Amino acid sequence: MSTMVGTETIVKAETRSRGKVIAYWSVTSLFAASMTISGIGQLMELEGNVELLEKIGYPLYIMTILGIWKVLGAIALVVPGLPRVKEWAYAGFFFLLTGAALSHVFAEDYGFPVILPLVYASLGMVSWALRTKSRKL
């Protein structure tokens, strides 16, 4: 009887670990794809991005800088290894996204421009919290 209980415990532990890995990759893939698409949109200077920056008074050249960093950060999150670079990428995304939300609040541009970066920041925090041991420092 004790052998059966031990086997069930092992199976449950493996299932939780596998479920956590699946959850991690689901959230991380969604987050990395969102940041990549957003970064490419900024690099291409799509009209919606230009309007948002003009509303809050930032110079347009900031789009190139943010676009490059978003794409590089997204790549850092999905490539194997480089745990320190991943930590920096997560931190950078957190500051970027919360800073974007606050910039819109300070410019009195409420609603979607505030909510969207906070949703993305939440995705990034969930991805960070679910990361596996091989991706931690």
**Tens-binned pLDDT, residue by residue, of the chain (137 aa):** 555 555 555 555 445 588 888 999 999 999 999 999 999 999 999 988 899 888 899 999 999 999 999 999 999 999 998 999 999 999 999 999 999 999 999 999 889 999 999 999 999 999 999 988 777 77
Handedness of CA 105, 111, 113, 116 (dihedral sign): positive
Do 62 and 86 form a contact (C-beta atoms < 8 A)? Answer: no
Which amino acid, one-letter code, is at 128? W
Q: Where are the alpha helices (DSSP H) in 44-78?
A: 47-56, 62-78
- The span from the CA of 16 to the CA of 98, in Å, is 31
pTM for this prediction: 0.83
Q: What is the pLDDT of residue 134?
A: 74
Give the model's pLDDT for residue 69.
97
User: CA–CA separation, 57 vs 2, rounded Å?
Assistant: 68
pLDDT of residue 6: 55
Q: What's the confidence (pLDDT) of residue 7?
A: 55
Burial of 125 from C-beta contacts in 10 A (0-12 / 13-18 / 19+): middle
Whole-number pLDDT of residue 13: 47
| Residues contacting residue 19 through CB under 8 Å, at least 6 positions apart | none
What's the rounded Cα separation, in Å, for the pair 128 and 95? 14
Task: Report d(CA 33, CA 18) in Å as an integer.
Answer: 22
